[in-house]
Chain A
Amino acid sequence: MDAIRVTGLTKRYGEVLAVDGLDVVVPAGSTVGLLGGNGAGKTTTIAMLLGLLIPTAGRIEVLGHDMAHDRFAALARMNFSSPYIALPHRLSVEENFRVYGHLYNVPQISRRIAVLAEQLDLGDLLKRPAGDLSAGQKTRVALAKALLNTPDVLLLDEPTASLDPDTGDLVRTWLERYRAESGCTILLASHNMAEVERLCDMVLMMKRGRIVDRGSPQALLARYGRDDLEEVFLDIARDRNQGVAP
């Protein structure tokens, strides 16, 4: 079964075509990386997948639910983390988790919070106001919030932004384990190419609102004759390797 199925997805703001006819299928249980430079359309695509933004054209199905007509059934089984969207900063971390636990109808919230606090090393942060945390701590808290409802589809925007290498590695290891244990589908937007190479089964390369290439990290490396995804990213961003067929 496909976790996400997108057909002809288009978003236009007046004269600006932000996303141009995307066709994407994300198999259940896979981790897919969404790569592209600033303004490539990644955030717009994620916002449409989450129902925050209504597409100009096209169709989105998540977990078999049409997001145009039945998005709440899908949203209950999805979650999202981004360092660019804040949690109420005067509430403590635990209070924030309780709020979202109620919104996602999480059973036994206290127990779930305790489990996530232990797994993501948040025990000392639970009573602190969310606004008082460091950038790295906020990123970990946002990730924990995204895991409260044990989602079947997880959308992550820069999940390890602002984390030191050690904590970043812990989070990546944890995400790998979580996916293996839960069978969760992960769509990941990141500028950390090493992270994408490590976590993703498939990579979608976006540019000017379109998917210009796609494949597994290994397939892309082979296709572009490069040693790492960063070089592939630069080839695509700078229109090098024109002869490479998508």
Chain B
Amino acid sequence: MIGAARRVWGMMYRHLALYRRSWPRLLELAYWPTLQMCIWGFTSTYIASRMAVGGQVAIGVLLGGVLLWEVALRSQMGVAISFLEEIWSRNLGHVFVSPLRPWELVAALIGMSFLRMAAGVVPAALLAWALYAFNIFAMGPVLVLLALNLIVMGWWVSLGVVSLILRHGAGAEALAWSVLFGLTPFAAVFYPVAVLPAGFQAVALALPAAHVFEGMRATLADGTMPWGHLAWACGLNALWLVAASLLFARQFRVARERGALLSIGE
């Protein structure tokens, strides 16, 4: 087990060393979440000022949605972009002739994703508190459960993206940035699932994010613990994570059959 932990750390060290040498990469981590927070913060402040009642709840729903959706986005991009770094540096050939197991690579990517997510979202959360008096941490322990579900959702989505990159090569890399944005309408970040057309509702309810944001709104509105929504989110995450892991294992084997680990950067 010590050997496995060392190999995982070795891959994380590889990415941390990269960030140490590249301030544009560090800046990029916080740039977009901070920008999003600025735009949505002022928008929600304006909307709240026009409302007779419930303005603070509206600010909470919008800014809480922005912050928590960034958790999922950064978690997903953290895994996928760290994997792409290996492809861009044409390093996979060296990595996979070492004793590094595929699951250890995934563990390292997840570790990096967590650090990248924290580096992106924490400054945005502090900005929300400083500029708009919105303290997301006031939600209490339920915030951890909601965020964890979105982090896990980011992992399985990115495992799907990595699988597609293994299958289709670097041509699929645009998915690393775009795939979760494409799911945003179904994630019900800023509105209840009920406002979606019936067909869209079915898609939304199959995603953990929709249950997380329903839960977040319930907590912000009346302070209740959304156990039902959390249970759905956890169950769906478990199912999707198993499916994405099986897909990754399958595509990794196909990549070894096709020789793609040597040529994937081309």
- Chain A interfacial positions (CB closer than 8 Å to B): 13, 44, 47, 50-54, 72, 75-76, 78-80, 82, 85-92, 95, 98-105, 129, 145
Contacts of B199 in A (CB 8 A): none
Against A, the Cβ 8 Å flags (1 = close, 0 = not) of B96-117 are 1111110000000000000000
Given contacts A54-B256, A91-B14, A95-B13, 4 further A-B contacts (CB under 8 A): A52-B262, A89-B89, A90-B89, A101-B10
A47–B10 alpha-carbon span in the complex (Å): 23
Cβ A88 vs Cβ B89 within 8 A: yes
> CB of B32 within 8 A of chain A?
no
The distance from the CB of B156 to the nearest CB of chain A, in whole angstroms, is: 25
Cβ B100 vs Cβ A103 within 8 A: yes
A54–B256 alpha-carbon span in the complex (Å): 6
Contacts of B258 in A (CB 8 A): 13
A103–B7 alpha-carbon span in the complex (Å): 4
> CB of B222 within 8 A of chain A?
no
> Given contacts A52-B261, A54-B253, A89-B89, is CB(A80)–CB(B97) below 8 Å?
yes
Contacts of A100 in B (CB 8 A): 10, 94, 98
Cβ B11 vs Cβ A99 within 8 A: yes
CB within 8 Å of A: which of B247-265? 253, 256-259, 261-262
Contacts of B256 in A (CB 8 A): 51-54
Taking a contact as CB atoms closer than 8 A, the residue among A50, A78, A102 that contacts B7 in the complex is A102
> Given contacts A52-B262, A53-B259, A105-B3, is CB(A90)–CB(B99) below 8 Å?
no
Taking a contact as CB atoms closer than 8 A, the residue among B6, B90, B97 that contacts A51 in the complex is B97
Contacts of B9 in A (CB 8 A): 102
A52–B261 alpha-carbon span in the complex (Å): 7
Cβ A85 vs Cβ B7 within 8 A: no
Cβ A102 vs Cβ B10 within 8 A: yes
> Given contacts A72-B99, A99-B11, A103-B99, is CB(A44)–CB(B259) below 8 Å?
yes
The distance from the CB of B196 to the nearest CB of chain A, in whole angstroms, is: 44
